[in-house]
Every structure is written in C-alpha cells, then in structure tokens.
Structure 1
Amino acid sequence: MNVILPGHPEHGIRSEDANEYLNHHIEVVAGHQLGGIGGLQKATAIHIEWRDPWLIALVSFHIIVTFTCFSTRNHGNFQVILFIILLLLVYFSENINEVAARNWALFSRQQYFDSKGLFISVVFSIPILLNCMIMVGSWLYQSTQIMTNLKKAQLRQRLKEMNMHREQQHIKAE
C-alpha cells in the first residue's frame, strides 16, 4: 500500500518509508537501552519465543508457586520450607544461568542466557522474589491479627478480674 502521508509541504512521505523509519529508530533505541542494562541483544529481548516448552514450563512453575503461596498461607511450617527453597533458587540463579548458557541448545530455540544474568533475573528470580514478598506480607498480616487477638483477650481478662474484684468488695461490704 502506497499511501502518501503529509510531510514536507512540497512532497509527502510514503507510509512504507515512515514504517521503515520508525522501525529503524525503535531498534536503535531498544538496542541502546538494552545494551545499557545488561548487554542483552535486542533480538533476544524483543523476540522472545513464549511458545518454547521450557518457557511455558517456567511460567507454569511460577503460577503453581503463586497458587501454593496463597493456598498454604495458614500452614506456617510448609511456607517456611517453601520460602527457604525459593530463596535458595534465587541464590543459585547465577549457577543456573551458567549451566543454561552452556546447554541452551538442548532445551531452547534461542540463546537467552547472557553473561550478566539479566534474562534469568527477569523471568526467574524476580517472580520468585515477588512470591517471597507475598509470603512475608502474609506473615506480617497474620502476626498483627495474632497480636490484636492477644490484646483483646488480655483486656477481656483484665475486665473479668476487675468485675470479680468489684463483686468480692460488694459482698464484703454487705
């Protein structure tokens, strides 16, 4: 399609030229920005094949972990174990990245694993850390609920003792 877009007063800009111009500048900007935050190639950052089986498995893993975090919020011991396992996975993500960088052809269609570990940090570590933050938030909420219930029980006990003390004084006064 050769549509003439308004441009310079003497002549217009063809839409094909405009698209080519925009695509070129998007690639340049993406390349500069991605190069500044870890040296990822713009092709790997822009063209992630989300239908890769291992990426589907990774997303499924994150969904299952998130579901597990929410469904086990009342099971403290299990959550502590899950929390430690998740933090260990984040701790060893650099080693996982190195192994994946050496063996990417066995499970992936593209090489995503850069030397700085940006890709694995974004798709692996950050979601795990968000789940850990959810668990910590749940623990803090549960702690405030327990403290509130404890304080209410203490106040009820004190009120009960005061009432008993008044009754005893009332009985002694008669």
Structure 2
Amino acid sequence: MEEIQKAFEQHMVQMEDLVQKFSTELRSGLQPAYENFMGFIHAIDWKEPFLMGLLVFHFLLLVTTIISRKNSNFQMCLFLLALGGVYLAEKLNKFLRENWRSFATQNYFDSHGIFLSTLWSGPLLVMAIIILVNTLFNLCYLIVKWKKAELRHKAKLYHNKHD
C-alpha cells in the first residue's frame, strides 16, 4: 500500500510541474512560439527546386480538391491518397534523410521528421480535412434531398387516398 501511495505522490508532483510549466508558457504569450516558427521559416532556403516543386504540388492538390468537390468518388480517392501520404511520411523522411545530397543543398530531414511533418504531412492533413468537411456537407445535402422526396411521396399517397 505504501508503494501505491508513493507512486501516487510522485505522479502528483510530476503533474504539478507540468501544470506549472504550462501556465508559465501561457503567461509568456505566443512570442516564443512565434520566434521558433520564424526561425524555422528563415532556416529554409525556399529557392530549392524540390521545395518549389513541393509547394506547387500542394497548390495543385488544393486546386484539384476544390474543382472536384462535387465528385465524391474522386474526392474519396484523394482523401485516401492524402492519408496514405501521411502514413508513409516516416519512411519517406528516412529515405530523404539518406539521399538529401542528390536534390538539396542542406539536410532538412532530421530524425524526428519535423521538416517533413510541416511541409508534407501538414498540408496533406489540411487537404484531408477539407475533403472530409466537403463530404459531410454533401451528405447533409443528400439527407435533406432524400427527406424532401420522402415527404413528397407521402403527400402524393395521402392525396391519392383521399381523392
């Protein structure tokens, strides 16, 4: 019983430290996060051909997603491809970390995958969310359309019965 009490007390001390650190960060505002973000942005050479290609790829994917918003089957394929790209990001990061000299001037691909998560997985997840929201809107539209048709059918049956 003493071991459980001791473990509980240690856990409470850790939780207290975490809450204190979190509240300190909240009080300091968004300045440290902004500085880290700006440091990340400035550390990247945006004129690298592979980065320009990646940005163009994401832009074209966004345009394709918007243009195909009425085609549910195509959107589901895009959705699965986007999530597949996120799923394969770790393997892609490893491959790119080993071969960065063939396409980049510096190694952006750290062992934690921060760069690839930000510039590959992040936009793909945003695209997946856009597709998901669009699909939900389409489903709502179909439910309303179905319900209207059901009500028209019931009204027609009612009028035929009473005529």
Which residue in the other structure is 1:138 paired with? 134
2:105 is paired with a residue whose SS is: coil
Larger RCO, structure (CA 8 Å, separation 6 or more): 2
Post-superposition offset of 1:46 = 2.8
Any idea what the Cα deviations from partners look like across 1:36-90, whole Å, max 9, x if unmatched? xxxxxx6x65321111100000000000111111111222222222221211111
Residue 86 of structure 2 corresponds to residue 90 of structure 1: yes
Detail structure 1 runs of 4+ shifted over 4 Å in the superposition.
none
Gaps of 5+ in 2: 1-31
Post-superposition offset of 1:108 = 0.8
Stretch deviating more after TM superposition (69-78 or 49-58): 69-78
Letter in 1 for 2:54: L
Residue 123 of structure 2 corresponds to residue 127 of structure 1: yes
Q: TM-score, normalised by structure 2?
A: 0.74
Residue 141 of structure 2 corresponds to residue 155 of structure 1: no
The 1-side partners of 2:124 and 2:112 are apart by 19
The 2-side partners of 1:85 and 1:159 are apart by 44
The 2-side partners of 1:136 and 1:146 are apart by 15
How much is the aligned-residue C-alpha RMSD, in angstroms? 1.9
Residue 108 of structure 2 corresponds to residue 115 of structure 1: no
2:139 is paired with a residue whose SS is: helix
The 2-side partners of 1:123 and 1:139 are apart by 25
Which residue in the other structure is 2:42 paired with? 46
Q: TM-score, normalised by structure 1?
A: 0.69
Of the two, which has the highest radius of gyration? 1
Which has a greater percent of helix? 2
The 2-side partners of 1:111 and 1:123 are apart by 14
- Percent of aligned pairs with the same residue? 32
Letter in 1 for 2:116: I
Name which of 70, 73, 80 aligns with 2:69. Answer: 73
Letter in 2 for 1:119: F
Letter in 2 for 1:125: S
